[in-house]
Amino acid sequence: MINRGLLRIKVVQILYSYYKSEGKSIPLAEKELFKSVEKTYDLYFHLLQLSVEITRYASDKIETRRNKLRPTAEDLNPNTRFIDNAFVAQLSTNTIFVSHVNKQKLSWIDQADIVKNLYEEIIGSEVYAEYMADETVDYEADKNLWRKIFKKIILQSQDLDDSIEDQSIYWVDDVELVVSFILKTIKRFDQEKGEEQELLPMFKDEEDAEFATKLIRTVLSKGLELRTMIDKNAKNWELDRIAFMDIVIMEVALAELLEFPTIPVNVTLNEYIEIAKNYSTDRSGTFINGVLDNIVSQLKKENKLIKVVMFTDNKAKK
């Protein structure tokens, strides 16, 4: 689940904090990096858990109406399609899901208002109205409902964003990416697999974990060398006049360019230019692009930038 794009962002964030903190050490930085990754994986389960909690809330409301002193005919015979959703029922008993949620003690109990507000947004939406009115009742429709809810309601909720940031500093800015993984997960669900349906693993393969470790170690061990290269190629700019985040981003980009010969130059440049656009100043993307282009040209002239092509399923690993 944790792809290299996210790992690059995590490395940049951890290094920024590392340089700004006291009592820093390479082992501590690595530990913090993988703690951040693990927390993002927790968020994947925590947001998936919303579908179960919102459904439970809806079920409780129906039961409360049934037990009123003077229930109406509608109270006694409600449309239970939403709470009978087959995807949510399958997820709620999923072996991996239940195990992780219990182990990490993930819960929405302290954010009951978020569950309530999201439920009310859902039942007031066109997505919900169309689903409840549709005469076709099947597993695919149940899955599609929750894909739409995550994409159109949960992802757009400012209250949820605020709550997520309050719950963990590690979850800041992670919601959009994690929801994209959830959409992929729901699409892959197969009713026949029951509670043994696979969820996304933390890492696609061991190579990605090794990529993150090597990347952060390279920056921390060769920081002076990397900053010297940046200084020489940042024309008319002294390091103390450049946004500190830009320096960190360029250090990480250079570490990747030099230490990962199978990753194409354009892939590395594009990745870090995008990070600059999202995490630094408005002009950072253009500035970093110019500096890195100069350094790449210089390294190529000096034969210090070696790239080889390796293929995995006919595509270079990114």
Q: Are residues 141 and 230 in the same domain?
A: no
CATH number of the domain within which 284 lies: 1.10.940.10
212 in a structural domain: no
Spans of the chain, pLDDT less than 50:
311-316
Task: State the number of CA atoms in the 13 A half-sphere of 300 facing the CB.
Answer: 8
Q: Which domain holds residue 239?
A: 222-301
159 in a structural domain: yes
Neighbours of 171 (CB within 10 A): 21
Q: Are residues 171 and 272 in the same domain?
A: no
47 in a structural domain: yes
Q: How far apart are the first and last CA of the chain?
A: 14
Q: Are residues 158 and 280 in the same domain?
A: no
244 in a structural domain: yes
216 in a structural domain: no
Q: Are residues 43 and 184 in the same domain?
A: yes
- Residues 39 and 168: their CA atoms lie apart, in Å, by 8
89-102: string of b/e by CB count within 10 Å (b at 16+)? ebbbebeebeebbe
Q: Are residues 45 and 169 in the same domain?
A: yes
64 in a structural domain: yes
Structure tokens at 292: 């890195």
203 in a structural domain: no
209 in a structural domain: no
User: Domain total for the chain?
Assistant: 2
Q: Are residues 123 and 265 in the same domain?
A: no
Q: Are residues 29 and 112 in the same domain?
A: yes
Which residues are CB-neighbours of 211 under 8 A, at least 6 positions away?
Answer: 4, 7, 260
Which residues are CB-neighbours of 47 under 8 A, at least 6 positions away?
Answer: 150, 154, 175, 178, 179, 182
Q: Are residues 24 and 171 in the same domain?
A: yes
Which residues are CB-neighbours of 253 under 8 A, at least 6 positions away?
Answer: 268, 269, 271, 272, 288, 292
Q: Are residues 176 and 244 in the same domain?
A: no
- State the DSSP code for 303: T
Which residues are CB-neighbours of 179 under 8 A, at least 6 positions away?
Answer: 47, 150, 151, 154, 155
Q: Are residues 76 and 173 in the same domain?
A: yes
Residue after which a domain boundary falls, among 146, 162, 196: 196
Q: Are residues 25 and 163 in the same domain?
A: yes
Q: What's the confidence (pLDDT) of residue 310? A: 57
The SS3 call for residue 315 is strand
Q: Are residues 24 and 87 in the same domain?
A: yes
CA angle 241-246-251, nearest 5°?
Answer: 115
